[in-house]
Amino acid sequence: MSDHPFYFTWTAQLKALRIEIEKSRDCYYLTTEGRKLYDLSSTSYQAAFGHSFSPIKKAIQSQLNSLPISSPKGVFELKQRATQKLIEYLNIPGKIFYTVSGAESIENALKMARQISGKEIILARKNSYHGASLGALSVTGDWRTKDHKSLSKWTKRIPDPQVDPNAEKLAQLIEKIGAQKIAAICLETFIGGNGVISAPLSWWRGLAKLKKKYGFFIILDEVVCGFGRTGKPFGFHHLPIKPDFICMAKIITGGYIPFGAVWTSKEIASYYKSNTLSCGLTNYAHPLGLSAMESVIDSLKTTQLKEQIKELSHGLETYKEKFELIGVVNEVRVIGTLMAIDLKKNIPFQRFIDEDILVALVGQRIIIAPPFTMRPSILKKLLKRIEGLLKEDSHE
Ligand SMILES: Cc1ncc(COP(=O)(O)O)c(C=O)c1O
C-alpha cells in the first residue's frame, strides 16, 4: 500500500480505506480504474446536488469573476440578498452568522449561548456528533470524542428521548444540575449519521415547556437535516419547537465550497446590538460560499426538485419493507431521503465498492442519503443491488 503525504481522517493511517478517484460526474465518482462509483451517501451527506450541478457551478464561476474575496466588514448586494433568502427559506425571523463548516457553526452557537446566558453547562445526547473542533466535540457523545480531553465538564448527557417520551427525566436532570448553571441544550433535529432516529413529538413538547420554565437556549444542529434532506426545508419544520440557534453547513452549498451558517433569533440579535460579538473568522461570509448558497436555495424552491425529493423518499420507503424481510437486517428507518439499515453483523465496505456503490458504513449500520438529483430509476437499481448483497450475506 503506497504512503501519502496527507492524512486520512478518523482512522489509523495504515488501516485507511481509500478510493482512487479520477474525476466525478452527475451522481458518481469515476475511479482511476474507469469504474463508476455511485455516491449513495451524497459523500458525507453534503453532495445533495451530485457532482456536476450546473446552477451551483455557474454561480461560483460568475462570482469568481466579479467579487471572489471580501473582508468580513464588506457589505455587497449578494451578501444582503442571499442572507435574506436564507432567512425566508428558514421561515423564521432572525439574523445570520457565517462560518466555513458544521463544527464552526456549532462552536459559535455554543460561544454565544454561554456568553449571553453567563452560564457554562450544555445539555446534549450521548448518541450525537456535532463536529471535530474541541467545543463541538465536547457536546458530541459518540466514539469520536473519547480520544480528546475535551471540555466535557461543561457537558451533561441527557436521558435518551426514546426512554423519556415526556421529558420527565430531563426535567429531573435539570433540577439536579441547577437551571442557574445551564446555558443551552444542543440537539440534532433528527439524528443523521448516528442512525436516522427521531425523538417522540411528546418529548419535543416537553422540552419546549422546560425551556419556557427554566430559560435555557435551544441550539438545533441542522448540519445533516437542513436544506431539504428530511422532506421539509429544515428538520425543525417537522417539530413543535422554537429554537434560539440553528446550525447549518453541508448541503448549504451542496459541498461545492466549504461554508456554514448560524441562524440566531431576534432576541439574540438584539443582545449583540450593544454587546460585543466576540466571534469571527477570516473567511466570514465568503462570496463564493454565498453565491453557492443562493443557488442551492433557489434550486430547492423549484417544483422539479421538490418532486424529485418526494420520489426518492418514496423509493426508499418502498425498499424499507423489502430490506426488513432479509435475514441479516435488524431494523430499517427512513426520514425523507435518509435511510438507516441496522444489520446483525458487519459487512465490509469493499462489498459495496464491488457493487459500484458508495454508502456510509458505521459498524453494523448502513446509511443511505442519495443526491436529490439522482434519477429515481438509478436509486432503484442501486437499492436492488444492495438487496442482493444483503441477501447473499444472510446465506453466508
Ligand atoms: C450532525 C452534524 N453536525 C455537525 C457536523 C460537523 O460538520 P463539519 O464536518 O462540516 O464540521 C457533522 C458532520 O458530519 C454532523 O453530521
Residue 152 confidence (pLDDT): 74
Instruction: Please list the helix, strand and coil fractions of the chain in percent, rounded to the nearest 5, in that order.
Output: 40, 20, 40
**Residues 312-324 pLDDT 10s:** 999 999 999 999 9
* Distance linking the first and last C-alpha atoms of the chain: 29
**What one-letter code names the amino acid at 215?**
G
Beta strands (DSSP E) in 66-151 are 94-99, 121-124
CATH of domain 54-300: 3.40.640.10
Q: Is 184 helix (H, G, I), strand (E, B) or coil?
A: strand
**Residues 236-295 pLDDT 10s:** 999 999 999 999 999 999 999 999 999 999 999 999 999 999 999 999 999 999 999 999
Report residue 229 CA to chain centroid gap: 9
**Residues 178-188 pLDDT 10s:** 999 999 999 99
Separation between Cα atoms, residue 371 and residue 72, nearest integer Å? 32
Q: Extract the C-alpha cell encoding 34.
A: 474507469
Report residue 91 CA to chain centroid gap: 19
Q: Extract the C-alpha cell encoding 248.
A: 447549518
Separation between Cα atoms, residue 389 and residue 357, nearest integer Å? 11
Decide: 119 in ligand 1 pocket, CB within 6 A.
Answer: no
Decide: 224 in ligand 1 pocket, CB within 6 A.
Answer: yes
What is the arithmetic mean of pLDDT over 34-39? Answer: 96
For the cut 80, the answer to whether the pLDDT of residue 395 exceeds it is no
Between the CA of 327 and the centroid of ligand 1 the distance, in Å, is: 32
Residue 371 confidence (pLDDT): 98
Among positive and negative, which fits the CA dihedral 304, 310, 314, 316? Answer: positive
| Residue 393: band (very low, low, confident or very high) from pLDDT cuts 50, 70, 90 | confident
Residues of the chain with CATH 3.40.640.10: 54-300
For the cut 90, the answer to whether the pLDDT of residue 373 exceeds it is yes
Rg, Å, the chain Cα set: 21
Which of 129, 186, 194, 219 to mutate to test ligand 1, by most ligand atoms within 8 A of the CB atom? 129
